[in-house]
Structure 1
Amino acid sequence: MRMTMDEIFIGDQTAVRRITGYLETLATVTKDLNVLLMGVQKYCRPDTYYNEVRPWFRGEDSDLAGRKWIFEGLEDDPRIQKPTELSGPSAGQSSMVHVLDVFLGVDHQSTSPGKRPFMSRMQS
């Protein structure tokens, strides 16, 4: 995306051809991603995922039952801190979403004072 923005400032015929090439590549990648993502349903029905698999991924801080996670072995290494944010999985934890955000130049802002943006927290 950054290269495309640079090309826009140049604005000559060569730049237009390059931008066209970038957009054609993006369209191809987007179509490939669509096929790949839609293929997931072939092997995992959405109701099976949401009702049987996803509950096991729910984090301690988003578990409606208030169950606590037990981290075995933390006491063996004092350098390892107990995780404090354990939200369940979301699209924000998919590396694909992060790559698209970087490509598109998306800058996530924090919605809470003194707290890093959600996407930044999911990257660590």
Structure 2
Amino acid sequence: MQRRTSKQKLNRKIRKKIAEINREIEAHCARLCEQEWQELCGTMDGNMSAGRTWKILRHLLDPTSTRTATRVQMAKLRHKYKDDPEAFAEEIVQTHIARPAGQSHFEYRGSRRCHCVEGLRWRNGGGGHRLRRRRY
């Protein structure tokens, strides 16, 4: 069929036949995928405590959080910056190590002596500053 297509590129019947075969292949692949997914869900149904089940669920929730995905991402970065190690280090710091700027917090306006520490007193008057609850 491919040989005929390469020779007769403008033949409408051949193009229609190839398109029909491609649709059949696509539908068959979708059925197989659905069947495999149903089998997998059936095996996971009774085994929620199994590690494999949780790995699959974690991957479905966030596919980028796996070690393999991280390794692939690092390999892409290394390839991208293979001639410039300083830019590579900067990219690593920016994307993986640097933390976003935090929110500014409001100033505490309450009293210094809080009701939550009223029942506490210092043990060992001098050096060992450990708190212990007062016994009444």
Which is strand-richer, 1 or 2?
A: 2
TM-score, with length taken from structure 2: 0.30
TM-score, normalised relative to structure 1? 0.33
Larger Cα-atom Rg: 2
Q: Which has the higher contact order (CA 8 A, sep 6+)?
A: 1
